Every structure is written in structure tokens, then in C-alpha cells.
Structure 1
Amino acid sequence: MLGSMQKLGRAILVAAAIGGAANLLGSQPSMAQEKGEGKRPPFCQGNPPTGRVKCNYEGGDNYEGNFVNGLPDGSGVYVYANGDRYEGQFRKGVPNGRGTFIFKDDARYIGVFQDGSMRSGTVVFPNGERYVGDFAIVRNIETNVISSQPSGRGQFFYSNGDRYEGQFFAGSPFGPGVLVRVDGTRCSGRFFNQGLDARVSCTFPNGTRYEGELREGVPHGVGTMIDTRGRRFPGVFRKGKPGVS
């Protein structure tokens, strides 16, 4: 199943990286505070502390855009020393409004930011796979890391044309959803995790149906195959094939 939706795991990492970027932006000192915090002030050309500027920050980051009271505010471009960049709207030093975060490997997020975190939009991966939908702030109870992750209604598109659409929670499919294969197979039901474990009803292109459990997006566990004449064949399936009845 195309890596069993592991690319969605990458979407979560993208979200976490964006959160990290927002923290870096948020930590930029205002020009009135630099001396007291012991940080080197950025070198800026233009009209600081309020106006259009170009600034170079300690560590090699650059910013071009609008300043208000020494912080990015309005439209601007922030380029990180590692090659990542954010283009879009800022408010009080963090992304707020429409924007695009582009990673050096060409993965990118396009959508709406709120207080430095993404709220809705599209994550596009270098191989063409993408997630489109809603995000919410999630705290990892093990690491205490706070990040934006897929949550609410969303769609994940695979590079071969397959897609999952439905409910997400804390970065994983969780709730009602539909798995649609490029060959026309359609499985709808309740999904439980990134591995596409689920309890579903599937319709195949040849007219046969399957009702039961999925694991990694294929029949696995207790289920019933129903042929085109309506005959039912209950049993236990393993990796898409009938096993012990």
C-alpha cells in the first residue's frame, strides 16, 4: 500500500519543521530589546524599526519585507541559512495569514498560518504526493513537542493515483474515511491509523465486494467476500488472500 501511508508521517515532520521555523521567527529580537537580551542586532538596510527593510540575522538568516517595531509584520520573505524559506504574511514576527514554506528538498506547505502554525492548506512532497486539508495544534505527550498536524477533514494523494479521504486526528487517519485505488477499488468505513487499519466495505472493479477488516489497506483479519451473484464467503484473510476459515 505505497508505504502504508508513511508519507503522511512526512507530512507530520513537515508540520513540525514549520513549527520550528515559526519559533525561530518568533525569537527574533525587536530592535529595542537587542541589548538587554545579549543578542547581536541584525544588520538592516531600509527603514527600521517600522518600514520596508532588508535584514541579515545572526546565524546567516535573511529577511526582506515589512517591519513594525523591529519585527516582520506584513508581507515578507524569510530565508534560513540552511536553504529553507517562508514567503507570505507576518504578524508580530511570526507567519500569520496566507503563505508558503519551501524546504530545501522542495517539499512545501501552501496555505493559511495562524500564530506561526499552519491551520489549513496543502503539503506537497518532492515525489508529487500531497496532503490537502485541515491542521490543528497537537502536543506530543512523550516529547512535549507542540506542532501543527493533520486533524479534521483531509485527503492524502499518492503518486500512483490512489487516495485516502476522510477524518484525521493528531496526524493520523482516525474516523470515517474512504480509500480509493487507481484501479477503481473503493473501501469506505472507519479507519484507525496511518497504516490504514480499518473496518470497511469494499467494492472491486469486477463487481465483487468485501466486508471486514483491513490492515495496511488490504483485507486482513475477519471478513466476508461476496461474489457478483451475492454468494458470501466468510473467513480470515491474510494480506489480501483467504486464510483459515
Structure 2
Amino acid sequence: METLSDRHPDELGETEIEPLWVYEGERNENGERHGNGKALLPNGDQYIGQYRNGLRYGRGVYVFRNGARYNGDWRDGRKYGQGIFWYPDGTRYEGEWKHDVKHGFGVYYYANNDIYEGSWKKDLRHGLGTYVYANTGTKFMGTWVEDRMQGPGQLVHERYRFHGFWKLNLPYGRGCFTFENLCMQHGHYIHVRDSAYDDQAWMYSDKIVEEDDEDKAKTVTTEEPFSPRIAILAVWRARCITPYNPELLPPEAVPLREEASTESLIDKSEDDIWPKIERDSDYSEGDHEEYYQGEASSRIDLNE
């Protein structure tokens, strides 16, 4: 899974200051760049497009000397509006920009062919978004907060899906697995420390993880370490099985309200739904205790 350390140091481009660069094009009465023109900047970057009162404004293409390229809208010298940015590593972003950062709706194509499509805020995935894992076809659809899966969401596999809540990129709290709309397995995820990885991996914050088709637990490792060195597992605790009933599903993801806490959604839903699930249950928890304990003990190693 690709993480979003996508903010390249040279993404902003070079500031155009005369006379330290070559410019060919139109000017206004004050001699400022105004209209169509092209510029060769001191650092080797190039810009071809529109200007207004000395600043890039309108449509234009900015080519970085390292091979990166932006083609899109500009306002007052900054990327603003719709545009496409190609990065040197082959990744690209297509979507909305505001004040030189990804902001609004956009699609990011990663080097490993994964795709994120959804909302952005200040260069981070934020709001409703879908992440597609190219190697499996599995996709996460749900809420993102400051570049992390956080809040209601679904993890969709070919023949089943998990409905629930995420916290710091891991499923957390009450949820259910649905199997081709035939039955539902209800339970909850807990986060536990995995001591086996204490000396081998940091606990990180920005790795996006995916459930395997066989097991239902994960470890997290990414880019920015916390302290101390730990690893975290999301462990599934099954509770009961019922026939498929859409009324028993956890709340779906909705556009973010910045003042609302996703944690309150988790707590509220658990209090409201468990009694109804237990009334609809076909099988008692005690009858399947050994089976559920076996399921809960399974685990996925994300480092594989």
C-alpha cells in the first residue's frame, strides 16, 4: 500500500523575478507579463501559459527540470482550480487545487497502480474517499481525516465485505462481515499491542492497510515513527451470526462535519444496535464460542 508522502519539495516551482530569467510574450502598459508567454527560469524550469499583472494566471504548463509537470489552472502565481500534476516517479494527481496544494476532489494514481479517489484538504486525503488496491482489487470506501482512515467505512472484497469504523487506519469497534447478502457475522475489533514486533518495527501513523481474505487482523508500519517502538494489531472478536438484514449495518460514511467527532459515532452506534442484533441472531454466542475464539486468534502480518 502506498502512503502519502507525496508532497515533493519542488512541487511549488520557481518564483519568477526579473531580470534573472528569460521571458518571451505579451506585457501590459506597465511592462508586466500579461497575456500569453513563456519563461525559462534560473533553475532550469519552464513555464508556458497565461499571465496577469506579472503573475501566472489562467491556463498554463509548468515543467520542472527533474521531469515533473503541472498542466492546469493558475491564480496569482499559484496552482488554483483544475489541474494535473505528473511526478518524476510516475505517479500523478488529477483534480482540484487551491493555493498550490491539493484541495477539493481529486484522483491520485500511485506507482504501484493503487488509486485514491475522493476529497482532499490542504494536500491530505480528508473527507469521503475510495482507495483501490491494485494487487487484489479490494477497495476501502469511507471517511478520511488528515490522510488517515478514520470513521465509518467499508472494506469490499470479491465475495464479502466488512462494514464498520476505522481509527488511525485500522478497523476499530463494532462492525459486521456480510457474505453475498446471505448472512452477517457481527462482532467488534479491538487494538492490541503485538510484542513480537517491538524490536523490529515502529508504530507508524500513515500506512493504509487491507484485510486479507483468510484472516481478520493486521499490523501497522509506515513512515513517521512514534515512541516507543511498538506494533499494533486489530483483532476481530466475533459475537453472533444473523441472516442478512440491512437495518443491522453500521452507519454509512457521510460528508465530514468538521465540528463532529467520529469517535462519538462509534460509541453511539454500539449502544443502539447491539440489542437489535441479538434479537435477530440465529445462533447464540455460547454455541459457537470455540469457533469464534479460533477466528479471533487469526492474524495478518502486513509486513509480508
> What's the TM-score once normalised by structure 1's chain length?
0.69
Aligned counterpart, 1:121: 83
Q: How does 1:96-245 map to 2 (within 5 A)?
A: 96-119=57-80, 120-137=82-99, 148-182=100-134, 183-213=136-166, 215-216=168-169, 219-222=170-173, 224-228=175-179, 229-236=183-190, 240=211, 241=217, 242-243=234-235, 245=237
- Cα distance in 2 for partners of 1:110, 1:85 equals 12
Moved over 6 A (4+): none
- Cα distance in 1 for partners of 2:130, 2:167 equals 12
1:72 maps to which of 33, 40, 65:
33
Mapped to 2, the partners of 1:118 and 1:110 lie a distance apart of: 9
- 1:105 deviates by 0.8
**Would the alpha carbon gap of residues 232 and 14 (structure 1) be closer, same or farther in structure 2, given more than 3 Å must change?**
farther
Larger radius of gyration: 2
Structure 1 CA distance, aligned partners of 2:37 and 2:74?
14
Kindly state the Cα deviation for residue 195 of structure 1 after the two structures are TM-superposed: 4.1
Measured in 2, the distance between the counterparts of 1:234 and 1:244 equals 6
Deviation at 1:225, TM superposition (A): 4.9
Render the CA deviation track for 1:62-108: whole Å, top value 9, x for unaligned.
11222333222222111112111111111221111110111111111
State, as a whole percentage, how many aligned pairs show the same letter.
Answer: 24
Q: Displacement, 1:191?
A: 0.5
Do residues 5 (structure 1) and 12 (structure 2) align? no
Relative to its length, the structure with more strand (as a share) is: 1
Give the SS at the match of 1:184: coil
Aligned AA (1:155): V
Superposed displacement of residue 167, structure 1: 1.4
- What letter corresponds to residue 5 of structure 1 in structure 2? L
For residues 196 and 130 of structure 1, do their structure 2 counterparts lie closer, same or farther at Cα, with a shift above 3 Å needed? Answer: farther
Shift of the alpha carbon at 1:123? 1.0
1-side partners of 2:74 and 2:91: how far apart? 21
Cα separation, partners in 2 of 1:209 and 1:195, compared to 1, 3 Å: closer
SS in 2 for 1:175: strand
| TM-score, length basis structure 2 | 0.57
CA contact (8 A) 1:175 1:190 kept: yes
Label 1:83 to 1:187 Cα distance change in 2 as closer, same or farther (>3 A).
Answer: same
3-state SS of 2:88 partner: coil
SS, match of residue 89 in structure 2:
coil
**Cα distance in structure 2, aligned partners of 1:214 and 1:206:** 24
Aligned-partner residue type, residue 90 of structure 2: G
Q: Residue 220 of structure 1: CA displacement?
A: 4.2
Q: Which runs of 5+ in 2 are unaligned?
A: 193-208, 212-216, 218-233, 238-304
